[in-house]
Amino acid sequence: MNDQNTTIDSTQVTLNFTDEAHMLDFAAEAAKQMPMGSVLYLHGDLGMGKTTLSRGLIQGLGHQGAVKSPTYTLVEPYQLTDGQDGKSKQINVYHFDLYRLADPEELEFMGVRDYFDSGAICLVEWPEKGQGVLPHADLDVTITPWQEGRTLSLAASSPVGVKLAEQWLATWQSQNNDTDTE
């Protein structure tokens, strides 16, 4: 029996991961499909893996160093270079962690709109803390427990998000086509 199942309907994709390494491998590959300007909201309780998923995505985009949670700084910028197809282009990624945000207005004071208007990829942990100030997400990712691993539930809310969810599903399926089945 395949215990690494997945489901899809018109608005949501659910992907299961057996452990952290499995999720990191997936994220590194899935990151290559993220278009510039995409916005992902990352939902889940403390310790569910929002920063782990962000680390996999950011490293998949070419970052070589550590990826830390920007809990105290609210945002951690990454300026990366994509050299695919022999053409080099800069990729800006902003990783937000709004867990400690007391008031969404604080985002206005830090110029949050500039981050999202720059065409950068934005990953936002605890987006509900910035409700009313943050732009809409292309893809909402909710992380919950699943057996010993995690489930990612992807809910698209834009054409970019729909395409991304479909691509991530295809990536997940290609990485899991050799799983044991009964």
Please report the pLDDT score of residue 72 as a whole number: 81
Domains and CATH numbers, the chain: 6-175 (3.40.50.300)
Give the pLDDT confidence score for residue 4 in this predicted structure. Answer: 46
Can you say whether the dihedral through the CA atoms of 140, 39, 174, 148 is positive or negative? Answer: negative
Q: What is the rounded average pLDDT of the residues 175-182?
A: 57
pLDDT (tens digit per residue) in 67-95: 988 888 899 999 998 755 556 778 999 99
Distances (CA, A) of 17 to 5, 21, 69, 102, 148: 9, 9, 21, 33, 9
Q: Please state, in angstroms and rounded to a whole number, the distance separating the CA atoms of residues 142 and 154.
A: 7
Distance CA 177, CA 160 (A): 26
- For residue 9, the model assigns a pLDDT of 47
Decide: 65 and 79 in contact? Cβ < 8 Å.
no
pLDDT tens digits, residue range 115-159?
Answer: 998 789 999 999 999 999 999 999 999 999 999 899 999 999 999
Confidence of residue 60 (pLDDT cuts 50, 70, 90): very high
Of 5-9, 81-85, 124-128, 174-178, the one with minimum mean pLDDT is: 5-9
